[in-house]
Amino acid sequence: MSFNSSESVSPQSIKQNERDSDLVKLGQIIATRIKELGLKKKSVAEKVGISTDYLWVLQRGKNPATGKPSKPSLEVLEHLSQVLRLDIGQLVELAGYDTVLQSAVTMSPGAEEKGGSFYGNPTLRRLAEKLSSPNVAPKYKELIESQINSLLDWIDDLGAFSEGESNE
């Protein structure tokens, strides 16, 4: 294979290839876990709330009909993590959701004991999906993430979520 110096590879195409590779890795983890647990794909799909065809696409990381990557929603990732007993943080990361959001959203305080998680909150789920969209310009993502971090710092400064503090 020869390299033509007139052809350049953009940073965006390199990032896209990495994301595509991560989606394939995500699919392999899903497929392996289904086998490890001895589950039927139809049963997994029903419990997750997706079709068996879509589960098949997720296991491959891309839609074979279009050749395009298949990125599951945060809601689908949450259900997959519950059904397959996988780490939601790893699934979110491999699906390509932003790292600021990963750390902020993998599990809200006390959610585990209540049987829920961040992803049950439609507003926060929508925010995460919007920020991970390739249609959002990087400068706007940075601005939004900066605002979110400022809000979180403000909440910390208020002490509004101090342990043992009552709402009285």
The DSSP code for 136 is S
In-domain check, residue 103: yes
In-domain check, residue 168: no
Domain span including residue 124 = 11-158
pLDDT averaged over every residue in the chain: 74
Rounded mean pLDDT of 13-42?
A: 83
Tens digits of per-residue pLDDT, 92-118?
888 887 654 555 555 444 444 444 455
In-domain check, residue 45: yes
Rounded mean pLDDT of 29-34?
A: 95
Burial class (CB in 10 A: 0-12, 13-18, 19+), 53: exposed
* Domain CATH code at residue 109: 1.10.260.40
11 compared with 85, residue with greater pLDDT: 85
In-domain check, residue 6: no
Rounded mean pLDDT of 133-161?
A: 75
In-domain check, residue 4: no
In-domain check, residue 113: yes
Band (8; pLDDT cuts 50, 70, 90): low
- Distance (Å, rounded) from C-alpha 43 to C-alpha 84? 11
In-domain check, residue 80: yes
Number of domains in the chain: 1
With a cut of 70, say whether residue 120 has pLDDT above it.
no
In-domain check, residue 32: yes
Q: Where are the alpha helices (DSSP H) in 52-121?
A: 52-60, 74-84, 88-95, 99-105, 111-114
- pLDDT of 163: 52
